[in-house]
Chains A and B, each alone.
Chain A
Amino acid sequence: MKKKWVGKSISIIVSAALLAPIFFVILGSFISVDIKVAQTNQYHNLDFTLGQYFTLIVQDSNYFNNLMNTFWILICSVVPQIILALGCAYYLSYSNGRNSRWLYKLNVILMLLPFQLIFIPYLFVIAVIGSLGQVNLTDHMLSVIAPSLLSPFATFFLTQFMKSLPIEQVEAARIDGASDWIILRKVILPQINHVVAAVAFVSTIDIWAMLIQPLLLFTDLKKMPLALYLEAMFANKSTSYYAGAVIYLLIPIIIFIKLYHIIRKKQLSDEALKGVVEDEGTI
């Protein structure tokens, strides 16, 4: 008989070891820290305090301004990105023409390219627009939102899942007179909503941690996303850096936990449904 506690103990130990640096940052936000001292790893004052959060909330208005900038970039990028990817994935899954096959291959190539290389042509577009003197996209949210609208990974992933669904469902809906839009919305989407959530989450963590694009395109402290502002915080030896870092890292973790519950719920309901079907079969 297998000893279940061995497997659970190993997973708990590995998880604890992997989460230790994050606890270290969270712990650091509750002590009064002199940044110069923190760099040498010698804390003189280890009293529990909420001082860092107080300083951040009361004195640092830029922090929340930049947090909101990141939220706006996130919402304006992820929502259209998923809608566009869903439309394209539907076309790639249910169209057998030569064009769709070429688009699929191009999408795979784009997915394999490192992000920086996908960003190069985009920078080229910005430079051309800038040199033509029409629009200056530097320090503009649109400059980081526009390239994020295109996600080859999201398209590829959604296509793979749509292809795995039974084609008979789509054909039946089409015979009943449903348009492609209705099929996508009412037949396909309810079956892959957990996959859409997972893909949206992967895009979210990418955009949340985005660094190269803002580094190249932002100079104004008030307009930049939070990642760059945090860099400015530790460069300026801000005493509330830990508190800022904790808020910044907890948001993706909270979204991750929410996603975990969605997928867990879906798995449990699938298992329950499978059980009911099997029971009916036996009867």
Chain B
Amino acid sequence: MKNKGYVLTLDAAVSVFIVLTILGYASTLVNDSRVTQWSEYQMLSTGYDITTVLKNNGVLQSMNDSFIEESINSVLSGNYELRLEVTSYRDVDGSLVEVGFMDVGPEVKESELRTHGRSTYVTFAGNLVDTYNAVEFWIWLK
């Protein structure tokens, strides 16, 4: 009778322990995912903001890598690193031909928090489109 009681108590204690462990672990996971989600959003919006601002200011169109790097570093948060690649194409007889490539920033590093985005812009010569440009960026936590 006494042994039976012990077994029941042990059984209850083990069950409670398992439930609490799962509950605690699940709660930690939910919390971590929120932090990660926000950091990814911040990095992605920073990447798109920078490429748009550089386009608006005519910095990207200059295709001057040191000027672009300086402009990026003046606004990029110290926690982040950013790599930017711009490929330029020109319309030659109806097909796009690569006419230029430029990369700015360090090599992409493996990081738990890293994100990537793309955008495009065109440059004009007078009223006509001169080049079609594809911008690609990678941004990650240092």
Chain A complexes with chain B: no
CB within 8 Å of B: which residues of A? none
